[in-house]
Structures are given as structure tokens and as C-alpha cells.
Amino acid sequence: MRRYWRLYRVFWRNGFRREIEFRANFWAKVITNFAWLFFFIALVEVIYARTNAIAGWNRNDAFLLVATCYWMSSVASITFFRNLGMLPSLVRLGTFDFVVVKPVSSLFWVSFRFVNMDEIGTLIGSFAMLGYAVSRMRPLPDVEQVVEYFVLCLSGLTMYYSFYLLTMTTSFWLVRVDNLSALIDTILYMARFPTDIFRGILQRVLTFVIPLAFIATIPSKAMLGRMEWWLLPVGVGLAAFFLACAVAFWRFATTRYSSASS
């Protein structure tokens, strides 16, 4: 475990060095990502200029929701999103060979090798937004609500990682799944809206089958003190379940890997 921690610190240093090598490019990416954060703030403003609640969420609640979704997806981009996105080409070109022979867990390597620094600005921006939204809450959330929020966010991130890993692992068979990451991005786009807008079966599907609700809606509700208490253990349980499935599927897939070039 300590070895992995040390390795991960090296990955961070390495990522940072790569970014300062192409500084102009780095700033361009940071500014672009920041602009997209404003894009979504503007969308919220446009919608709330015409109404004061969407499915019971007022403007401030919506900011909390968007900030939550944004910081979670920034964390995902910084850590695993880009890395797992490269898996299909690793498999297709046979360069996955080099991963397999490294003396570390190949799953760890494939998930976390490159630290993607250009989302750092978005992360800071969305935390600022989160702070703004929370400071305007009346009454302010108590410690319990904040803890629940972060626990649920962590489970949400775990589910996100597991789902993405499950999808990307299919590349061992399907080979050409390069833009599936664009699809995952699109699905995540839906998470920026409260899942309360969906009715009936669809809402249940988005909570328990494709756990989109756990990405932002349910943690935000925990912060707002509007969540049913049983969703907390369910969230943690689902996260553990999906992670176990994803890792098992990964193990199964890698035993089937038969290189591409050699």
C-alpha cells in the first residue's frame, strides 16, 4: 500500500512537470475548462430567470447541484477519466503488453498513470461555487449533513469509476470503442439536472441501475437535509457492489487478453 502511495506521488510530480513544459497550452486548457463552468452557470441563470423552482429545486439548490456535479467530474478527469479512456487504444495497438509486465497492479497503472492537471482550475472554481451555494443556505447545514454529503460524493465517484471501468473493459472484446467516453460524458451531462425531473420507472432506473442520481442529486439532497436516511447505506452499498463487479470483470477480461502485435 505504501509503495502505491509513493508511486502515486511520483505520478503527480510527473504530471505537473509535463504541464509546465507546455505552459501556453496548459493555460489555454485551464481557461477553456473554466469557460465551460461559466457556460453551465449561464444556463442555470437563463432558466431561473424564467422560473423560481425546477421540481422543487430553487436557484441556490441548483447551484449546489451543478457545483457538486462539476467538482466530482473534475476529480474524475484529474485522476482516472483520461487514463481509462486510453485503454481501448492500449488494447488495440498491443501496448497493453508493457502494462502487464510492470511490477504493479495493471488496474492501478491503467487507472491512475497520468495525472491530468488541466482540470485543476475547474476544481477550484467549482469548490468556490459550492462554498457560495452552501453559505447562502438557510439554515446552514449541520456537521452531519456535510459528512453525509462527502460520503455520498465519494460513493458517487466510486460508482462513476466502476461504470466507466466496466464500459472500457469491453474494449478487450469490442476493440473499437474509442468514443464511448463521449457517451459517458453525455450521460454525465444528465446528472447536472436533478433526477426528480424524471418520473416513474425512469427515475428508479437512474437511481439503482445506472446510478446517475448518486452523482449529484442525492449528495446535494443530503446537504440540503432533504434526503431519506436509508439512501446513505444504499449509496455506500451500491458503490461497493459496482466496484466489486467492475474489478471482477477487469480480472476476467485481462486473463483473456492475447496481445495484438507480438
Using CB under 8 A as the criterion, which residues of the chain lie in contact with other proteins when the complex forms? 24-25, 28-29, 31-32, 35-36, 38-39, 42-43, 46-47, 49-55, 176-180, 182-183, 185-187, 189-190, 193, 196-198
C-alpha cell at 176: 473499437
Question: At closest approach, how far in Å is the CB of 37 from other proteins?
Answer: 11
CB of 74 to other proteins, least distance (A): 16
| Residue whose CB is less far from other proteins, 180 or 245 | 180
Give 54's strand partners: 57
Which SS3 state, helix, strand or coil, does residue 137 take? coil
Instruction: Return the number of the residue (56 or 103) whose C-beta is nearest other proteins.
Output: 56
Say if CB 254 and CB 106 are below 8 A apart.
yes
Give the residue from 88, 71, 43, 68 showing the smallest Cα distance to 182: 88
Least distance (Å) between residue 72 CB and other proteins: 18
In the complex with other proteins, the residue whose CB is nearer, 49 or 101, is: 49
Per-residue cell: 88: 481501448
**Shortest Cβ distance from residue 100 to other proteins (Å)?**
27
- List for the chain the helix, strand, coil content (%; round to 5): 75, 0, 20
Nearer to other proteins, 135 or 186 (CB): 186
As a residue count, the chain comes to 262
User: Quick one: cell of 150?
Assistant: 462527502
Nearer to other proteins, 42 or 100 (CB): 42
CB of 199 to other proteins, least distance (A): 8
- Gap between the Cα atoms of 27 and 79, Å rounded: 19
| The three three-digit cell numbers of residue 24, written as one number | 501556453
Find the shortest distance in angstroms from Cβ 176 to other proteins: 7
- Our CB check for other proteins shows the closer of 16 and 38 to be 38
Q: Which residue has the cell 496548459?
A: 26
Which stretches of 133-252 are assigned E, i.e. beta strand? none
